[in-house]
Amino acid sequence: MTKYGVVVGSTRKNSYSEGVAKAIVAGLPEGSEVNYLNIADLPLYNQDLDANSPAVYDEFRAAVQAQDAFIFVTPEHNRNIPAALKNALDVASRPWGQNSWAGKPALVASQSISGISGVLAHHSLRQTLVFLDMPTMQQPELYIGNTMQLADEEGNITNEGTKEFLAGAGKSFSEFAAKFVD
Ligand SMILES: Cc1cc2nc3c(=O)[nH]c(=O)nc-3n(C[C@H](O)[C@H](O)[C@H](O)COP(=O)(O)O)c2cc1C
């Protein structure tokens, strides 16, 4: 069974991004292994640490390596991805030559409480995934705007049409990921 790592770009409790992630996960085939990776406790990446990595870096890199495919859901912070998400991508991309993300298929979704749907963060993330060598699903594109109107106060997506759309994307991603997973 495919192991899916889920990386949520928000570290906030009751995050809408997490709600979107859960709605995508609902469309994965029954029995899929799903692991939500914690990015909140990673110290800010510093290349000097490559010589003697903190244990949390080692654990995070090992957790990334253990997954077959990744679902990324990001909010937009000042027209880009949140610093915590960029930091997590950087940490597991190093030391040089040991990119833990390489070759793993990815889904990208963005969401925002505004109508713009985090589109700039979405494409900034896609740009980084190119360099990290992650084949990324092109369609459907997942830009979720006005999330506050689609979810409850805990961030869970409650709008039926949105739930159906996101679950469908999860199913499409399982088919896409299967092309890359042994
Ligand atoms: C520091 C900061 C910057 C933000 N910048 C943007 C932005 O550039 N574009 C946008 O659409 N929303 C922006 N927002 C609003 C977020 O879309 C909103 O807080 C969203 O709910 C965050 O996702 P989450 O619920 O997963 O934490 C910003 C929020 C914060 C805290």
Closest-lying ligand 1 atom to the alpha carbon of residue 112: 17
CA angle 29, 32, 37 (to 5 degrees): 125
Closest-lying ligand 1 atom to the alpha carbon of residue 12: 27
Class of domain 3-178: alpha beta
CA distances from 133 to 17, 129, 136 (A): 24, 6, 9
Q: Which stretches does DSSP call E strand in 86-137?
A: 106-111
pLDDT digits (tens, 9 = 90+) for 37-54: 999 999 999 999 999 999
Q: Exposure of 52 by Cβ count < 10 A (0-12 exposed, 13-18 middle, 19+ buried)?
A: exposed
Domain boundaries, given as residue ranges, for the chain: 3-178
Q: What per-residue confidence (pLDDT) applies to 182?
A: 79
**Is 118 close to ligand 1, i.e. is its CB under 6 Å away?**
yes
Q: What per-residue confidence (pLDDT) applies to 142?
A: 98
For the chain, which residues score pLDDT lower than 70? none
Give the ipTM. Answer: 0.98
Cβ atoms of 108 and 72 closer than 8 Å: yes
Residue 75 C-alpha to ligand 1 middle, in angstroms?
6
Tell me, what DSSP letter sits at residue 50?
Answer: G
Cβ atoms of 16 and 151 closer than 8 Å: yes
